[in-house]
Amino acid sequence: MKDGISVLTKKVLNQVLIFSSLMVLTGSIVLLYCFDIFPKESKSIYDITLLDDSAENEIIKYGHDLFIETPKYIGPDNINSNLSYSGNRLACNNCHLQSGTKPYAAPLIGIVKRFPQYRGRENKIGSIEERINGCMERSLNGITMPPNSKEMKAIVAYLTWLSRFSPEDGKVSGQGFVKIEVPNRAVNIEKGKQVFELNCIVCHGKNGQGVKASGRYTYKYPPLWGNDSYNNGAGMNRVITAAQFIKANMPFGTTFDSPILSDEEAYDVAGYINQQKRPSKPHSENDFPDLKKKPVSTPYPPYADTFSISQHQLGPFQPIIEFYKQEYNIVKTK
């Protein structure tokens, strides 16, 4: 009888312990969630309209405004000439889609936690502010913003807000661009033009001039070449990088898990777009002080190899990649 009671008691105690543990775990999760410590997957965590009007949030919201309507605040047409930092009418959001949250559109979730960061283009460890200014000088074809300016602080505040639930190392799924199988041939410009005419003209126009957003300073669909586009020093002017972006995001509305274009189509249309005229980045010859670290599809010299400028612009890239592997023991992926 005592043994029976003992067994029953143990069973009851075990059940009580299990129940108590579950209650503690549930309570902990609820507390973490309530105090904004638990990572949330809902898109609402990136909804800027949910922020109240505290002084801190006003800075974040200004950063978001700068991100979405960049030229309105710091572009060539803004009313304060002292704030004319960007040289074209593109917005950050034209490349970093969905306010910087779209997977494989160079999302900026977690970005501030990945800096300071070494970058081969400058051959040094740089700050997030320096990285932002890299976009200012290249993708926005402008000049650098003072690191301590209200505008720079606001953009960093917005990126910090986007990154608040990311891992400590800032690495997230959908980071950067999708990988593609780079064709073992040169870009076919004529096929690229055909892809453009079939898939891109409806938004970007016959001459790649884009479509302005109604009542706004920037574009709904950005120009892909010409004076209002990115300059030749921008990362998007590298065929491999552009093809990766196009594959996961274009035509507009495409997602990485349901692409419309093949790798070859993305490759050819990227080459076609980047062969069109665009502004030149001043002093681009100073990029990549260690030339061995220059991406193989960088369209401007000098190089640490003897391949032609044309081959660096249009491929085939496999011989260049193989050269760096054999000569310098460097594995190139872009």
- What local confidence, expressed as pLDDT, does residue 129 receive? 99
**Residues recorded for the chain:** 334
How much is the pLDDT for 9? 54
pLDDT number for residue 210: 98
Gap between the Cα atoms of 10 and 66, Å rounded: 64
- By the 10 Å C-beta count (0-12 exposed, 13-18 middle, 19+ buried), 53 is classed as exposed
Residue 248, classified by CB atoms within 10 Å of its CB into exposed (0-12), middle (13-18) or buried (19+), is buried
Hey, what are 186's tokens? 């040169």
Pull the structure tokens for residue 295.
């991406």
pLDDT of residue 81: 86
- Report the pLDDT value the prediction gives residue 287, as an integer from 0 to 100: 98
What is the CATH superfamily name and number for domain 179-290+307-334? Cytochrome c-like domain (1.10.760.10)
- Tell me if domain 46-162 and domain 179-290+307-334 are identical in fold: yes
Are 215 and 72 in contact by the 8 Å Cβ rule? The answer is no
pLDDT score for 22: 54
Domain 46-162, architecture per CATH: Orthogonal Bundle (1.10)
Work out the number of other CB atoms within 10 angstroms of the CB of residue 89.
27
Average pLDDT per 10 consecutive residues for the chain, totaling 334 residues: 51 56 49 41 85 98 98 93 95 98 98 98 98 99 98 99 98 97 99 99 97 92 98 99 99 98 99 98 98 98 99 99 98 94
d(C-alpha 61, C-alpha 158), whole Å: 7
CB 263 within 8 A of CB 282: no
Q: Where are the alpha helices (DSSP H) in 104-149?
A: 128-137
- Say if CB 125 and CB 269 are below 8 A apart: no
Alpha-carbon separation of residue 257 from 36, 103, 248 (angstroms): 30, 10, 8
Q: What CA–CA distance (Å, rounded) separates 200 from 261?
A: 11
> Do the beta carbons of residue 199 and residue 250 sit within 8 Å?
yes
Phi-psi region of 78 (alpha: psi -120 to 50; beta: other; left: phi over 0): beta
Supply the pTM of this predicted model.
0.87
DSSP H or E run through 277: none
State the pLDDT at residue 18: 57
For the chain, the domains span: 46-162, 179-290+307-334
The overall longest dimension of the chain from CA atoms, in Å, is 94
The predicted pLDDT at position 105 comes to: 99
DSSP secondary structure code for residue 221 in this structure: E
Q: Residue 19: its pLDDT value, please? A: 58
Q: At what angle do helices 55-68 and 150-162 cross, to 10 degrees?
A: 90
Name every residue whose Cβ is closer than 8 Å to that of residue 84 and which is 6 or more positions away in sequence.
Answer: 74, 75, 76, 78, 142
Which pLDDT belongs to residue 216? 85
- Spatial contact of 112 and 170, defined as CB atoms under 8 Å apart: yes
